[in-house]
């Protein structure tokens, strides 16, 4: 009984990303490798900024595992569910509205009994406890230290509002998922098949909602006419890509970091540029960033997307099998995969499965990033702008310039900056394109750059809103 699932797991986990062996090569970076492009004090400042955050990530992973273990080993999940049942029973006795009772009766029939309200309350309570557990670390590392290093200009009230919105939307989505998933599991032992197939289909079309999900947190508007818009549209036309518009995302109100991405699919596709990104980069650098994203777009074949979505069903089967095996032991506060009290076990299993496949998934991601870089270089043939783009991205966003090998394996989804710079230089050499000699002072940003960036972004956004 045990050997079959374990053998299946050993085959499927590598297959999740098609095991790209060529992408498993890692890079050791020395100070001498970095000196042509980065000042020593820049490298030291980035290390001082990044390493405490890395340590905190490891601590948070340990806290998550301890949290799930405490809930399961000491059956605190069962105690929480009993409290939820008592509370919902008390509330139910006080409800006198005929409409509310009618809705409750419908939900009871769908769920199978009256415990549906307690199940939803259990999930919300679990989510709130978990988010509060990590709130101090999130506040310190995502707001306090970001301000200390000049990467955030977001007021505390805005940070708290974003945190609250995230908690609210997570609670709504988790409640709906709980009602659907466990409600289906209570009616059919093959819930993983009944849920996995339609969800896989929905995943194929989820990209159409990307432009609207982005607007939950930040506003964006059409990029005004000018050099940047011309450079972007020329790139899109050269690639032959269908799109709706080129947009500016308002980030100056919260951050000095920069980014660009593509949201949506087909006619709904939008090219989105942070206003800080437009303020920091030249039109050629921005065009290279868009070309890189178009490289990802070219690699998103329907076959690959369909195969990735299809893997959801066997993953759900594996989770169901493991939950049933744990439930039979009677030691973890839940009975089987139909029991909402198994939520901590589900979270722990997904975390462990993710950690197991992370090295292969990250290697695949790095390979795809390299392919997108190659596409951008081939499409525009502007390696000087590509090289300066990568260096400026690293300087503005505080990239890790020389992570150890273990970190590249387990965490890094993108090639190292030095690899991408050398890729541009190799391309230039192969095409006979002369590049300027690398000099760190030429690439270095002014000391007040992060402060000036938000002012420039504000001016860009003002132009975007001017008729």
Tens-digit pLDDT profile for residues 147-164 = 998 888 899 999 999 999
Predicted local confidence at residue 263, as pLDDT: 83
Which one has a higher pLDDT value, 247 or 209? 247
Residue 36 lies in a domain: yes
Count of domains for the chain: 1
Q: pLDDT class for 6, splitting at 50, 70, 90?
A: very low
The tokens for 220 are: 């964006």
Predicted local confidence at residue 397, as pLDDT: 93
**Strand runs (DSSP E) across 253-391, as ranges?**
260-263, 270-274
pLDDT (average), residues 128-149: 94
Q: pLDDT class for 305, splitting at 50, 70, 90?
A: low
217-226, 299-308, 365-374: range with lowest mean pLDDT: 299-308
Residue 147 lies in a domain: no
Domain extent, residue 27, equals: 3-74+188-465
371-375, 385-389, 447-451: range with lowest mean pLDDT: 447-451
Whether pTM exceeds 0.95: no
Indicate the angle between helix axes 3-15 and 312-329, nearest 10 degrees: 150
The tokens for 372 are: 């997108």
Q: What does the DSSP assignment read for 167-196?
A: HHHHHHHHHHHHHHHHHHHHH-TTHHHHHH
Residue 196 lies in a domain: yes
Residue 254 lies in a domain: yes
pLDDT (average), residues 423-441: 95
Residue 104 lies in a domain: no
Residue 155 lies in a domain: no
Residue found by looking up tokens 């030429």 in the block: 442
Residue 178 lies in a domain: no
Residue 287 lies in a domain: yes
């Amino acid at each position: 009984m045990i050997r079959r699932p374990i053998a299946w797991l050993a085959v499927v986990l590598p297959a999740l990303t098609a095991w790209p062996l060529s992408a498993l090569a890692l890079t050791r970076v020395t100070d001498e490798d970095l000196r042509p492009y980065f000042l020593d004090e820049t490298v030291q400042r980035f290390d001082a900024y990044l390493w405490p955050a890395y340590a905190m990530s490891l601590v948070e992973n340990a806290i998550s595992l301890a949290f799930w273990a405490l809930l399961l080993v000491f059956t605190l999940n069962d105690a929480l569910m009993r409290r939820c049942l008592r509370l919902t029973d008390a509330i139910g006795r006080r409800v006198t509205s005929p409409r509310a009772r009618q809705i409750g009766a419908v939900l009871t029939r769908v769920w199978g009994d009256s415990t549906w309200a307690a199940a939803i309350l259990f999930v919300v309570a679990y989510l709130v406890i978990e988010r509060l557990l990590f709130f101090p670390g999130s506040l310190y590392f995502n707001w306090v230290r970001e301000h200390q290093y000049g990467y955030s200009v977001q007021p505390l009230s805005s940070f708290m509002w974003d945190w609250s919105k995230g908690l609210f939307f997570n609670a709504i989505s988790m409640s709906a998922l709980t009602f659907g998933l466990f409600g289906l599991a209570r009616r059919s032992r093959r819930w993983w098949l009944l849920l996995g197939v339609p969800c896989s289909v929905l995943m194929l079309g989820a990209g159409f909602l990307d432009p609207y999900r982005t607007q939950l947190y930040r506003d964006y508007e059409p990029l005004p006419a000018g050099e940047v818009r011309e450079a972007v549209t020329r790139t899109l036309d050269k690639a032959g890509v269908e799109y709706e518009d080129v947009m500016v995302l308002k980030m100056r109100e919260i951050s000095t970091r920069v980014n660009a991405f593509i949201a949506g699919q087909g006619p709904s596709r939008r090219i989105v540029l942070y206003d800080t990104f437009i303020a920091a980069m030249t039109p050629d650098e921005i065009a290279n960033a868009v070309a890189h994203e178009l490289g990802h777009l070219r690699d998103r074949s329907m076959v690959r997307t369909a195969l990735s979505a299809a893997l959801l069903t066997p993953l759900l089967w594996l989770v169901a099998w493991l939950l049933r095996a744990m439930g039979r032991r009677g030691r973890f506060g839940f009975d089987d995969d139909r029991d909402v009290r198994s939520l901590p076990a589900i979270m722990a299993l997904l975390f462990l499965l993710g950690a197991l496949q992370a090295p292969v998934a990250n290697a695949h991601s790095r390979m795809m990033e390299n392919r997108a870089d190659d596409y951008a270089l081939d499409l525009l043939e502007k390696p000087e702008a590509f090289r300066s783009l990568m260096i400026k991205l690293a300087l503005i966003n505080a990239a890790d310039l020389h992570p150890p090998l273990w970190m590249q394996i387990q965490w890094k989804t993108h090639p190292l900056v030095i690899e991408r710079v050398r890729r541009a230089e190799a391309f230039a050499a192969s095409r006979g394109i002369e590049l300027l000699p690398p000099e760190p002072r030429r690439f270095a940003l002014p000391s007040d750059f992060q402060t000036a960036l938000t002012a420039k972004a504000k001016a860009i956004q003002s132009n975007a809103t001017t008729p």
